[in-house]
Chain A
Amino acid sequence: MKVTKEAVAGTLESSDLLVKVAPSDKGTRDIVIRSEVIKQFGKQIRHVVTDTLDKLSVSGGSIVIEDKGALDCVIRARVQAAVLRGCGSQDLDWGSLS
C-alpha cells in the first residue's frame, strides 16, 4: 500500500492521537512522533505505529503523529484509519489489521 494523498484521522483529545499522512516524494517511510509522554512511551508508540504500518504493507509515506496518551489499540485504529484514507481505498483486508 502506498499513501497517495494527504489524510488525517483522530482528534486532539486526551487518550487519543492525531495522525496525518502524506505521500512521500522520496518513496520512503517517514514517521515523526510527538507526545506528552514521549520519554516514558516514545519507544512503545513507535513500535505500535511501525507494526501497524508493516501489517498494512505501507511502503512509502510521511506519517506525523500528535499523541495525547493513547492506548495501543487506539494508536492502531487511528493509524489504520489515516492510512486507509490516504490510500483512497476502503477495501479492507481484515487479516492485515490485528
Chain B
Amino acid sequence: MKLRRSMLFVPGDNAGMLSTSFVYKPDAVMFDLEDAVATREKDSARLMVYQALQHPAYRDIETVVRINGVNTEFWQKDLEAAIRGGVDVVRLPKTENAQEIHELEEHVAKIEKACGRPVGDTKLMAAIESASGVVNAVSIASASPRMTAIAIAGFDYLVDMHTRRSDGWEPELFYARAAVLHAARAAHIDAFDVVYGNVSDDEGFLREVRIAKNLGFNGKSLIHPKQIDLLHRAYLPTAEEVNHAKRVIAAAEEAHSKGLGVVSLDGKMVDPPVIEEAEMTLQLAAAA
C-alpha cells in the first residue's frame, strides 16, 4: 500500500525547488506545469520537469506531473515530457467528466508505445475544481483502470460555486469533500484534500488536516515543505490505535496459520477491510 499523506506542489519552472524538494521527503511530489507556470515559460518548464524526473533523487518518491487541461494547447506536449521522463502519475486539472479521462488515457497509451514504456504503466489522477466535476466525480473516478487518485482543488471550485472559504468547519466545502471521497472509495482509489494556502498559519492548517483525516482523506496537497512534517505527525496513529491494529494483524495471522477462513477478535468477526485498515495503521506508524 502506497503511503500518500503528503503531495508537495513544486512549480515546474522553479529550479531551486526542483533541486531540493526531495530533501523534505514528501510521500509524493507534484511538478506543476499548469497554474504555477506563466504561458511564455511553459516550454522551458516542461523541459525542467522532464529532466528533473530523471534525477536519481526522485526515484524513491512518487512523482506526479500536473499537466495543462485538455482544453489547452499544451497538454499533449506536457504528456510527452512527463511520460518520457518517467512520471508515476499524471494529474489532470479541472476534470469535468469521464470523457476527458478517456481522451487523456488514449494519448498516454500512444506515448507509452512510442517511447517503449509498458502500456498502462503511467497512472492518472483527476483534480475536481468545479461543480460539474463534483457532480461527475463517481464516473471520473472509475473512468479508467489507470485512475489511482482523485483530488479536490478548493480555490477554483469555490469560485465556480460563487462563494469563498470561511473559518471553522467550512460548510462550503463539505459536499464537495464528501462527494469526492465517496467517488474515491467506490472506485477503490485514493482521495486528496484541498491545498491550505496560508503558510504562516500552522494552527489553521492542522485544524483542516484533522477534518480531512476524520472524513477519511488519504492525504492532502501541500504548497510548502514545512507543511509536510505537520501533516505526517497529524496522520500518526495513536498508541491505542497501533495496539489495536497489532492485535488485528495477529488475529489474522493466527487464523491464516490455522487454515481458518474467518478471522475473529474479541469474539467478533474481522472483515478484510478491517485487516487492510490495520495494515495501513501500522504502515503510518512505521513511517514516523
- Which B residues are in CB contact (< 8 Å) with A73? 18, 51-52, 54-55
A74 adjacent to B51 (CB under 8 Å): yes
Q: How far is the CB of B83 from chain A (nearest CB, A)?
A: 10
Distance of B51 from chain A, by nearest CB (Å): 4
- Could you tell me if B115 and A90 are in contact, using CB atoms closer than 8 angstroms? no
A77 at the interface (CB under 8 A from B): yes
Q: Which of A77, A80, A98 has the most CB of B within 10 A?
A: A77
Cβ A15 vs Cβ B47 within 8 A: no
- The winner among B16, B44, B55 for most chain A CB atoms within 10 A is B44
Task: Give the docked Cα–Cα distance between A92 and B81 (Å).
Answer: 10
B15 on interface, CB distance cutoff 8 Å:
yes
Proximity string of chain A (1-13) to chain B, C-beta cutoff 8 Å, 1 when within and 0 when not: 0000000011101
Are A74 and B80 closer than 8 Å at their CB atoms? no
Taking a contact as CB atoms under 8 Å apart, the answer to whether B15 and A70 are in contact is yes
Q: Once the chains bind, are A85 and B19 in contact (CB under 8 Å)?
A: no
User: Total interface residues on A, using CB and 8 Å?
Assistant: 24
Q: How far is the CA of A84 from the CA of B44 in the complex (A)?
A: 9
| Partner pick for A94 among B16, B18, B84, CB 8 A cutoff | B84
CB distance from A53 to the nearest CB of B (A): 14
Among candidates B16, B20, B51, B77, residue contacting A77 with C-beta atoms closer than 8 Å:
B51
Main secondary structure of the interface of B (DSSP, over half): helix
- Whether B18 lies near A74 (C-beta < 8 A) is yes
Q: How far does the Cβ of B75 sit from chain A's closest Cβ, in whole Å?
A: 14
Residue of B nearest to A8 (CB): B44
8 additional contacts, CB 8 Å, given A78-B48, A92-B77?
A: A9-B44, A16-B15, A16-B16, A73-B55, A74-B15, A74-B18, A74-B51, A77-B47
User: Measuring CB to CB, which residues of chain B are less than 8 angstroms from any residue of chain A?
Assistant: 14-16, 18-20, 43-44, 47-48, 50-52, 54-55, 77, 80, 84, 115
A residues with CB within 8 A of B: 9-11, 13-17, 70-71, 73-74, 76-78, 80-81, 84-85, 90, 92, 94, 97-98
Q: List 23 A-B contacts (CB under 8 A).
A: A9-B44, A13-B15, A13-B16, A16-B15, A16-B16, A17-B15, A70-B15, A70-B19, A73-B52, A73-B55, A74-B19, A74-B48, A74-B51, A74-B52, A77-B44, A77-B50, A80-B47, A81-B44, A85-B43, A90-B43, A94-B84, A97-B47, A98-B54
